[in-house]
Structure 1
Amino acid sequence: MSALIIDTKTCVRFITLNRPERHNAFDDGLIAELTQAFLAASADDGVRVVVLDSVGKSFSAGADLEWMKRMAGYDRARNLEDAKALARLMQVIDQCPKPTIAVVQGAAYGGGVGLAATCDMVVAADHALFCLSEVKLGIIPAVISPYVVRAIGARASRRYFQTAETFAATKAAELGLVSEVASPEQLIAVRDRWIAALLVNGPAAMAAAKDLAVQAAERTLDDSLRVWTAERIADLRASDEGKEGVTAFLERRKPSWIGG
């Protein structure tokens, strides 16, 4: 049985974690399936937005206990292989050229926090709990750390990486991990509001805007960055999509990427 449910409605790809009996915890099979699902969504020109959600009580409980038992018997080389697979998953989600939305309807622990951190927007239920619990097991949140630190900052990461405290959705929003907190009944409404906002924008422009946000945050503010930003806006202005968008605005009509 697949660990995922994959569905496309119009131009939105829904990727749903489907291991409710295991609290949507990771094992090597789920990691492989989820990586391929995001690679496929990234490569599909018909997909404009990607939604990551899950069924059951939890969003994701992190590493599956049975998988962890198997890993305990692995040597360092096999552990490194598994860790690289999880690192690849996080990279693939983070670098997806389509806007990504995570809908966190329940607890997110360990790698589940990593999944949220790699998505562009996160809506969480007001009762959802978050925890970077790895140190309780004598390990660390290593491969998810670049994305979590980027989301919540170095200071908060020092605290939560070491204490393994559980924190509420409202605290996750305060830290920057969660974009918006909603009641369980309003999660879909928030998700759909974001989807509606995204679908009126130029697809290539949004991909470029995502990369712009990453580069502007991570690169040193110097002449090379200033030149790069100037080149990026020049590229987009001269592109077919950029010309169509400006022309449509001036002609007071919808651009071609908006249906109807």
Structure 2
Amino acid sequence: MADALVCSIDEAGVGRIRFNRPQIHNAFDNALIESLGAAIEALGADARVRAVVIAAEGASFCAGGDLAWMLRMGEAPDADNVADALKLARVLGALATLPKPTLALVQGPAYGGGVGVVAACDIAIAAEEARFALTEVRLGIIPAVISPYVVAAIGARAAARYALMALPFDAAEALRLGLVHEVVQAGELESAGARTLAALGRNSTAAMAEAKALMRAVAGRPVDAALMEETAQAIARARARREAQDRITAFLKRKQGG
């Protein structure tokens, strides 16, 4: 039996996570969630990895929760049910805070938890054929653990609309909402991803990690004296680093033709 998730690192330092349950539209169950969490942890800790790509085999990116699994967990004791849900919450949290840039390549439908994965990534590119939906309320459940990432990506009002209506929306609407950052033809998805990875590859790994953490730290906060002091301290630390000094010096030499 093929692994439900495949994880690898290429020669360019790109960690690749690929959902591999195409026969059930890459739906989550307990095993896939655990595998995803382990992959995220391993890639985050590996110094070779400069960026992480999440993609999927088959026609669908991810159909959300495996319904048979959710039915079983709904019948489990309360403590077991909560503990199981917390696993996905922690995995999404680990993905969102991974100290490496993350890129979702969405080739097909992403529903429920699949939308959560896309929203938790830093950058998302979708094929024109991709579709998105928060269909939980049709099943009498709610998009709970994915909600912080969906709201952060598209805003509370748009998230409420799609969570309440449970209607699918296309890649163009996902682009308009901010859930994805680029829409391309299906045959161009990998090349669009490669261009994004090339741009990321030119940057300082340490600076990208700090920039990612900085954006989370300042989001939604008032611009007051405390935030000004915090951000001033952050840039002061960054520009004093040897890597920053070397990169700035090299840039000035190139600009001057040296």
TM-score scaled by length of structure 1: 0.95
1:181 alignment partner, SS class: strand
The superposition leaves residues 89-123 of structure 1 with CA deviations (integer Å, 9 ceiling, x where unpaired) of 10000001101000000000000000000001101
State the number of aligned residues: 253
Residues 55-66 of structure 1: matches in 2 within 5 Å?
55-66=57-68
Structure 2 residue aligned with 1:114: 116
The question of 1:244 aligning with 2:246 is answered: yes
Structure 1 residue aligned with 2:201: 199
The question of 1:15 aligning with 2:2 is answered: no
Deviates more, 1:1-10 or 1:228-237: 1-10
CA distance in 2, matches of 1:81, 1:2: 24
> Which one-letter code corresponds to 1:152 in the other structure?
I
2:31 alignment partner, SS class: helix
- Runs of 4+ in structure 1 off by over 2 angstroms are 250-253
Deviation at 1:216, TM superposition (A): 2.4
Identity of aligned residues (%): 50
RMSD over equivalenced CA pairs, Å: 1.1
Match of 1:89 among 91, 97, 101: 91
Residues 61-140 of structure 1: matches in 2 within 5 Å?
61-140=63-142
Contact 1:204 1:241 survives alignment (8 Å): no
Structure 2 residue aligned with 1:6: 7
Structure 1 residue aligned with 2:168: 166
1:16 alignment partner, SS class: strand
2:219 alignment partner, SS class: helix
Deviation at 1:243, TM superposition (A): 1.6
Contact 1:152 1:177 survives alignment (8 Å): yes
> Which one-letter code corresponds to 1:244 in the other structure?
D
Contact 1:90 1:114 survives alignment (8 Å): yes
Contact 1:125 1:187 survives alignment (8 Å): yes
Deviation at 1:241, TM superposition (A): 1.8
Deviation at 1:214, TM superposition (A): 1.8
Structure 2 residue aligned with 1:177: 179
The superposition leaves residues 67-107 of structure 1 with CA deviations (integer Å, 9 ceiling, x where unpaired) of 12211211221110011001001000000110100000000
CA distance in 1, matches of 2:41, 2:221: 26
> Which one-letter code corresponds to 2:96 in the other structure?
D
1:5 alignment partner, SS class: strand
Structure 1 gap ranges (5+): 254-260
2:39 alignment partner, SS class: helix
> Which one-letter code corresponds to 1:183 in the other structure?
Q
TM-score scaled by length of structure 2: 0.95
CA distance in 2, matches of 1:214, 1:186: 31
The superposition leaves residues 12-60 of structure 1 with CA deviations (integer Å, 9 ceiling, x where unpaired) of 0111001111110000000011011011111111000100000001000
1:251 alignment partner, SS class: helix
CA distance in 2, matches of 1:201, 1:156: 33
Structure 1 residue aligned with 2:42: 40
